[in-house]
Amino acid sequence: MENKYQKLMKDIRVPEELNDRVLCAARRQARDSAGEQTGPKRLTRSRRFRPLVRTAVCAACALALVLGTVRFDPVDTQPDGPVGQENAPAVLSPSFSFGLTAYAAGTGESIRPNANGGLAFTMGDGLYWSAQEGYYTGCLFQVTGEHIRQVSLSLDRGGLYRSQQLENLTAEEMQVIREAQERGEIAPTSIDRDGDGNWSTEKMTKLGASVTEDYAPEVYYGIWTGGVSEAAWAEDPKAAEESSTDQLDGAVLTVTVTFDDGTEQTKAYHLSTGRLRVTCENDSGLTVLPQLAGDNEPYVYGIYAASETESRWFQWPVQGSRTVSRSNPFGRREIAVDNEPDPEEPIDREQLEAQLEKMRFHSGIDIPAPEGEVILAAADGTVTETGFDASHGNYLVIDHGDGLQTLYAHCRNVDVQEGDPVKAGEMLGAVGKTGMATGPHLHFEVRQDGEIQNPVAYFDKDIRDILEMK
């Protein structure tokens, strides 16, 4: 007989992982593309272990997609009604919001956000550095939304630039671009020529630490830093690239939009830099985890931006452990299927495929810890369910409000009951190995509005910086 949790799991829709497909599509495009390139300005990454997935992630600007929306806010009184009249019907007044959209370099496809408002920047191909100009990271984004009149951007460390991709240029048009580069009006960058003789290049114009201009939906903005010394770039370009990026650690990106009705909205993003762990299933899927990579794990060095207003942060849920299982990370994984069923057998093939798909997708993170180690509430909330099933063993679910829930599974024991209010850091039970567990650990899940989310996105920089994968 199914319990409440099993029924809930049946209704959970696995996210489409658009970011995975976009980044791997970028890798395929970069791998298959061929053309003439001129100019020495393109930076080439070191070909060590990590470039196994370098082309995929470096060809992409992984700033998450947050589309602007139109919403209706209640006004206290009707236009023709008495001001302050009690029980007067509310009038809906339109208001607007905006978002930031990123596109995989060279593909034009957008990348999904995580539900916690986190934006993961990775550095794209065609990066440029010089002692005079600094380091153009290749992280591009657009401001998106409706009824936008003006946009203001500021970065309190480093600066911004405008990027425009110019395609199908004639030789004469390309000469004009070269002359503008020589005059210092735009930054030099790589120049490509296809098999038909058409030229293309990226026009990068430095904007400084802030810019206010009329809104143009087709405009891309990027981030640049002062870079490091010329000697450092000559000695180790990869290390120089990371050092240049690290200058943005702790910076704040502020975006203010003015709408047609004169109203304004501002969003601020705190930036942190480090390793973004990358996993990829052949060419079919790729997952980026913010700042969670072991010494021998594939990663891309990048920027993680956390929204001041949209992010909700958890405490770490296991006392005395800062380790995440390398063999069972969040996301898709390969599984070995023994005793493949006979196609002639009368079984429900669709049901079997659904079960296998569920097995391939790991819906949380596993946190190894000694049996009996204390499990802690990740945030304030109310215990909505406790129980046992063959898969998760002893488990509990906490509702944190606004559609956010956490699940704690494989517990040795659960010390709270349904309906109990809990505070962040309060003891919930003890780590065990009940259910389908080969060793003691906590299986930790996060769901927003019923959809599985990457739990790592809900821990702030201080926690992510000390996480290990073993």
Encode pLDDT of 123-137 as tens digits.
766 567 877 788 888
Max mean pLDDT range (12-26, 48-62, 279-293, 384-398):
384-398
Does pLDDT of 377 surpass 60? yes
Asked whether the predicted pLDDT for residue 445 surpasses 70, the reply is yes
CB atoms within 10 A of CB 74: 9
How do residues 177-204 score in pLDDT, each as one tens digit? 888 888 877 877 777 888 888 888 888 8
Residue 306 pLDDT exceeds 80: yes
Tell me the pLDDT band of 226, cut-offs 50, 70 and 90: confident
d(CA 237, CA 385): 52
Predicted local distance difference test score (pLDDT) of residue 28: 44
- Confidence (pLDDT) at 35: 42
Residue 16 has pLDDT above 70, yes or no: no
- Domains belonging to the chain, first-starting first, are 18-76+87-307 (no CATH), 313-469 (2.70.70.10)
Higher pLDDT, 173 or 386: 386
pLDDT of residue 431: 98
Q: How far is CA 256 from CA 143, 214, 253, 265, 294, in A?
A: 10, 12, 10, 6, 37
> Are 362 and 287 in contact, with CB atoms under 8 Å apart?
no
81 has pLDDT over 60: no
The whole-number average pLDDT for the span 461-466 is 85
**Res 224 pLDDT > 60:** yes
Q: Could you read off the pLDDT of 409-443 as tens digits, one per residue?
A: 999 999 999 999 999 999 999 999 999 998 999 99
Top-confidence residue, 54 or 75: 75
Element (H, E) at 251: none
The reported pLDDT for the residue numbered 283 is 41
Burial class from Cβ neighbours inside 10 Å (0-12, 13-18, 19+) for residue 134 reads buried
